[in-house]
Every structure is written in C-alpha cells, then in structure tokens.
Chains A and B, each alone.
Chain A
Amino acid sequence: MSLRRLLAVSRKEVFQVLRDFRSLLIVLLMPLMLMTVLGYGINLDTRHIRVFAFDREGSPASQDLLKRFESSEYFDLVATVTDYRALAAALDDGRCQLAIVIPHDFSARLHDGRPVNVQALVDGSDANTAELAIGYAQGVLGAYGATVQADYLRKSNAPTVNPVLSVEVRTWFNEDLESKNFIVPGVAAIVMAVIGVLLTSLTIAREWERGTMEQLISTPVTALEIVIGKLLPYFALGMLDTAVCAAIAVWWFEVPFRGSLATLAVGSGIYLTAILGLGFWISVVTKNQLAASQIGLVATFLPSFLLSGFTFPIEQMPLGVQPFTYVIAARYYIVILKSVFLRGSGLGALAGPLIALVAYALIMVFLAKRSFHKSLA
C-alpha cells in the first residue's frame, strides 16, 4: 500500500466534496434538521393529559379531589362541565383525553365511610396514553383516598397507623426519568447512520456512472488505497456531524453529559468507520448512485430506528427478531452514547460494544475491499 497514492485519492475526494456545494450543505444541515425533528417529535413522556370534569356534587370534598388533578403535572384540568353530553362531546372531538365524573353523593359516602366510585372515561384510541392516564388517575385517587382515611381515623381518635413498608425510590443516571435524555442520544446514532451511509454510498457509484472508474482502475492504485483514501475525507466530515449532534444534544436539548469527550470521540470514530464502510460496500456493489442511496437509506434508517433498541428494548423483541439486531451498528453505539452521556462511563466499561463496533468496521471495510474488483464487467 502506498501512502502517497492513498493521500492523492483523499485529496482528490476533498476537492470534489468542497466543489459540490449543495451536497456539502446537506451534510452540514441534515444533522441539525434531523436532530430537531426527531428530538422533538419523539417524546415518550405523557404529561399534561387534558381532563374534563363533571362534578355532580360540587362540595368542598369534590373540589378538593379536582384540585389534586389540577396540581398534578400529568393532568391539565381543562374545563368543568355540567352534563354527560358535554363530556362525551369533549371526548369525541379530542378536547380531552380523560373525563372524570364525581357522583352526587361523593362527600356523604366518604363521611359515612361507604365505598365511593369515581368514574373515569378514557380515550382509548391511543392505547399507550390511555393506559398511562388510567395509571396516573388511579395514583391521584389512591393518594386522595389515603388522606381521607387518615383524616377519618384521626377524627375517630384511633391510634395513628403508619404504613409498615414503604419504598424509597431513587433513580440513577436519569433522575427525572425524562425520556429526552435517552431519546436524544439515540436520535444522534440514527442521524449519524443515515448521514454516514449517504456520504459514502455515492462515492464509488458516481465514479462508475461517470466513467472515471475505468481510467482510475487502469492505474497502479490498489483497491485498498481507493477504499481508505476515499474514507478519510468522509470520516472527517462525519466526525464534524457527530460534534454537531453532540452539541445539539447538550446545549439545545440539555441532555446531561457526564462522560469524557475522548470516550465519545473514540466510540463515535469507530461507529462512523463502520457506517461509512457499510455505505461504501453498498456503493461498490450497486455501481449506481440512485440504487446506492436508496438501499443506503433503507439499510440504515428503519433498522437503526426499530432494531437498535432505540424504540423497543431488544430483550422484549420476539426471539426470532433478536438475532437481527446484532447486525445493526446503531445497537452498539446507542449503548455507548447513553452510557457516556448519562452514566459517564469510560472506555473500560464500554469494552463490549466498542469491540463489537471495531469488528463491525473491519468487516465492512473488508467486504468493500473484497467486492471492489479492479476490473470491468
């Protein structure tokens, strides 16, 4: 392998990239765009569920209960109505997701120590939100019930009973359990997969399409020199994009960054090499720019989204699907990103996914090199 030829290939590629202003713009703006769209678009936190209430009693006790809904960050008490029809209409047209009906004998029954039923109507068209709404509503009602019981016991001069067992929960790494803290790093992994593959998927195909490859392969340059020489400039561009993604995550989405930049750079560099190698391989095999970019997109976007553990935890996937997740480079990188951002892990703790990515990158470069024949037809 001749370093001179390799660098000559790199330099040529740099000139071409710099001269292709529009592509350069896409490369620089795409992480910005995708990060914002996906970062905001994917929010698994269900907060501010819109609630309508029909208070049939209107007593201080029922008002007290509604106040608890109002003060919960999970619920927004939008309106109080005076009949069922208004409630049904609000559910129908989506003005509320949860409707609470307080019975007319609410305080009387509470006073007498009889069981009380509060009705909750839930919009089940979004099952996930509905389930969460039910859960949160039960929480609010349970807490209210406990207070009422305690009051009742106190008034009847019974000895105060403390709960025997209680759980003191402390969440580590993502203290507020905010979904953006693990979603944004995941988005960065997907964005880099898409951009990385797009960067290289065109480079070889373009040379075949324009006929420049025929001239190039008639020279003594070797396949490996072409592959690595072409990878270098795109690697630099990709690392720039990584930095942009990381900056957006930290300064815009305010994801805590607890690890070291060096760990992030090493992990990202290896991941990027794997992704660029994949794009390269696709380019070598298809020899066609359109096909290469289409396949590149299909091979990265959805798999990184669905099979990397980003959307669904891998352990919860059907057993038949799980093996496929091992060929998704994002699977390993998402682990690295979450750990570096939230846990502050160092290289040692990340050895597993790092080694997997190194192997991935080597296999991709090897496949690209092997498929790239220095001959026509």
Chain B
Amino acid sequence: MTRSNGNSVEVENLVKRFGDFTAVDRISFQTRTGEVFGFLGPNGSGKSTTIRILCGLLRPTSGRAIVAGYDVVQSPELIRRNIGYMSQKFSLYADLTVFENLRFYAGMYGVPAAELRGRIDWALEMAGLRGRESNLTGTLAGGWKQRLALGCAVLHRPPIVFLDEPTSGVDPLSRRLFWELIQRMSGDGVTIFVTTHYMDEAEYCNRLALMNGGKLIALGTPTELKLGSIQGWLLLLECDRLGEAIERLRRFDGVRDVAVFGNALHLVVSDAAAAPAIRAALEADAISVTSLQPIRPSLEDAFVALTTGRGANCPSELPS
C-alpha cells in the first residue's frame, strides 16, 4: 500500500459507469496538503459521483483513487477514519437534538472520551449553536443545519474533508460564514475537497477542477482558468437591439464568440484593436452602442468558454 501523504487525494484514470451511462470518464488529478480544492461543474457532470467514490461509498468501475494514503477499493474502512464527509442532502437526524447528533457522530468516529466534551464544545462554538444544544435539529434554519453538519463531519479532526455542495439552499450570509470556516480549517492544514456550482464560491478555492459530462475539462487556480480559457480578448458590449447585434457580430470577421450576459454581450475577439471596427459596423446597422471595452474574464466566462468548447484554449478546434 502506498501511504504517500495523509492529506492528499490522488486520482488516476478514474471511471464510473452506471449501465450505459458514464458518470465519471477517466479523470486524473492530485490535491495538495491544506488546499481548498474546488470541483466545479453543472448538475450531472459527475462531481457528486467522484466525491462518493473518494469517500468509499461507491466503487469505481476502473482507475485508481488514493485518499489519505489508502486505496478506495482496498481499504474504504481506513479511509473513513481519516475523512469527514458532508453529503449534498442534509443528512443529520432531524428528530435528535443538536447535542445528540454531535454526540452520536463523536461516537461513530470514535472520538476519545477525554476529548469528547471539548470537541462537542468546539463544534457548537464553530456552528454558532451554543445555547441551542437541546433544540431538535429539524427545527434549525438552513445555515445552522449546514454548520452543524460540518461540525459533525469534522469532530474527529480528519485531515481531509469532503463537502458535496455544502451551501446549496442556504442564505448568502450563512454561505459567507461557512466559507470562512472552510478557510480557517484549510489554514490549519486540512485539505478541503468541495463541490459547488456557485461561481462566486469557486473564487474562494485554491485550485479548481472543472467537470463537464463526466470529464475533467480544466484544472488550475481560478486565475489560471480565467486567463487560460479565453484566447484573445474579452469585450463587454452594451448596446440596444441585442438580437440584431448578435446576428451582425456572428458574421463579423475576428469575433470568435458572442454570449449574452445580463443586458450586455460578452465578445471574444482575437485582437482588442478590432473594437473600433466593431463599433463602426454596429452603428452602420443603426445599432447604438453605449459602451464597448475590454474586461477581465470572470470564472463564469471561463466556465462557459470551457464547457461549450468555444474560445477554449484548445487550439486545434479554433481558427487561428
């Protein structure tokens, strides 16, 4: 058994098929100690399936995955001692109190009796649930439930924590609080593996893996992805008659992609110097341009670019 690093996740050519459907298609990556590793992708892209394989809850069809130094197929029980997992759906016992849930999971993870009180206090503090120990868990608001779930999952101080869409259905303030907790744990050297489909949350991650259709389509820091995914320049265009503008721009030589973003358009162009010509062409068609300027691509731009393949940094598919 290769016990390389207690904090790391190493995945090699991992495949999971359900019948004819390939949920995870030959993905490979490695995490680094103490990083927040984000798994980004639309619903059904294979994020949850991957995370479940890594927690030993699903057997991979083929490929290899080493978590905390243990193989997921050979020693899932050893992995379970070394990880914390928070599933997508709220999965604590609604008919137990806050304290009873914590005590139960402390028992499941074998927290030593001497540390029990301290760890439960710590979790209560972290989740902001002090004074609510005897409330039934089912009556808590979403943010509290989710912080309690995190508390339960890390009572045994696991070196790796897996969070499957931890903030779905939680209010923005609670989401921010939650991410502060994640950052703090990562600061303590815990490797955090988190899936999300919120772009703003992805920005908090040290590194991101982009999943689409079961494939890992990009991997890097948020900045790398933003810069690397867009070849050429990104222009923000504000104008009227968006529909006609899109038609016109699709025919314009040098505009590689046009996408609607709110009330404006994002254009991918080979050369920023084309801007005056674009403005002139639109105005020639009686479309009035309010503003046209280069912008920094957002993760959302990168995500769209990468998942649609248009403007993606795979030169073979692009006219140069």
Contact = CB atoms under 8 A, between A and B. Distances in A.
Interface of A: 2, 4-5, 7-9, 11-12, 15-16, 19-20, 210-222, 374-377
13 contacts: A4-B107, A5-B110, A11-B104, A15-B96, A15-B100, A19-B96, A20-B95, A210-B91, A218-B85, A219-B105, A221-B108, A222-B77, A375-B57
B89 A214 contact: yes
B193 interface: no
Contacts of A11: 104, 107
A2 B90 contact: no
A210 B96 CA distance: 13
A220 B81 contact: yes
B107 to A, nearest CB: 3
B93 interface: yes
Contacts of A377: 18, 58
B110 A12 contact: no
Interface string B98-109: 001001110111
B95 to A, nearest CB: 5
Contacts of B92: 212, 215
A374 B57 CA distance: 7
A319 B103 CA distance: 55
Contact of B95 (A7, A19, A215, A376): A19
A219 B18 CA distance: 24
B89 A218 contact: no
Nearest to A216: B108
B218 interface: no
Nearest to A222: B77
Given A16-B96, A220-B109, 15 more contacts: A7-B107, A8-B104, A15-B100, A212-B92, A214-B57, A215-B85, A215-B153, A216-B108, A218-B57, A218-B80, A218-B87, A220-B80, A220-B81, A222-B77, A375-B59
Contacts of B210: none
Contacts, number: 82
Contacts of A2: 110
B83 interface: yes
B194 interface: no
B91 A12 contact: no
B132 to A, nearest CB: 17
A220 B77 contact: yes
Nearest to B112: A4
A219 B95 contact: no
A8 B111 CA distance: 12
Most buried by B among A16, A19, A218, A221: A218
A210 B57 contact: no
Contacts of B26: none
A4 B87 CA distance: 24
B77 A211 contact: no
Most buried by B among A2, A12, A211: A12
B215 to A, nearest CB: 21
B197 interface: no
Given A376-B57, A377-B58, A219 B80 contact: yes
Contact of B94 (A210, A215, A217): A210
Contacts of A20: 95
B111 to A, nearest CB: 10
Contacts of A217: 57
Contacts of B52: 376
Contact of A211 (B90, B107, B108): B90
Interface string B54-89: 011111000000000000000011001101011101
A221 to B, nearest CB: 5
A7 B105 CA distance: 12
B47 to A, nearest CB: 15
A220 B153 CA distance: 12
Which 3 A/B pairs are nearest by Cβ-Cβ distance? A8-B107, A215-B91, A218-B85
Nearest to A376: B57
A254 to B, nearest CB: 42
Interface in B138-173: 149, 152-153
Contacts of A8: 103-104, 107-108
Contacts of B81: 220
A213 B57 CA distance: 11
B93 A220 contact: no
Nearest to B107: A8
Contacts of A16: 93, 95-96
